[in-house]
Amino acid sequence: MEKNSFGLILPPTAKGVSADLKTWLPFDSLQTIAVKVLHDSISPTLSPDLERIDARPSKGIVKFVFEDDYWEIQLDGTSGKTLQINRRTSDIIENIHDGTILDVLFNTKNDQFKLSYTSIMGLALLLLTASGFWLWYGPKRMRKLKQQPQNKEI
């Protein structure tokens, strides 16, 4: 679903010059370039902290996904040339879905809101499943009890 969203949810992956890792720049050099691009092209106040580095040797690129503000910078692994700068809407949607957005907004540690949210939602799902089963099974059981002949002793 995400990959077939025409770049609205998940940015498309660009294509680099070479898939040969021997020709690639070292990752620390690529990271320095990505941070410079982040500060020069987006905002100098953004944190340089990375969430992950996603290397795609078959495509010849490296994606640098930053922790704050959902930015991704794709660099050519060989030249370090900037191929794309994108906002990762998929990460925003995922954070809303799993409750992490509250931890981000309130700057909490240890995913307190996410843990509470997922626990409450899990218990709610369990409760709704049990009550749904009872609403389906209960009337069947009552009808069966009404249809049974009652033994009257005289």
CB atoms inside a 10 Å sphere around CB 30: 21
Task: Decide if pLDDT at 26 tops 70.
Answer: yes
The rounded mean pLDDT for the chain is 90
Confidence of residue 142 (pLDDT cuts 50, 70, 90): confident
Average pLDDT over residues 1-26: 84
Q: Centre a 10 Å sphere on the Cβ of residue 54 and count the other Cβ atoms it contains.
A: 13
pTM of the entire predicted model = 0.72
Contact 10, 61 (CB under 8 A): no
* Alpha-carbon span 54 to 89, nearest angstrom: 17
Predicted pLDDT at 69: 85
Q: Which pLDDT belongs to residue 154? A: 60
Q: Any idea where the domains of the chain sit in the sequence?
A: 21-90, 99-147
The CATH number of domain 21-90 is 3.30.530: no
How many of the other CB atoms lie within 10 Å of CB of 132?
10
The secondary element (H helix, E strand) that includes residue 68 is none
What length is written for the chain? 154
Q: How many CA atoms lie within 13 A of 46 on its CB side?
A: 21
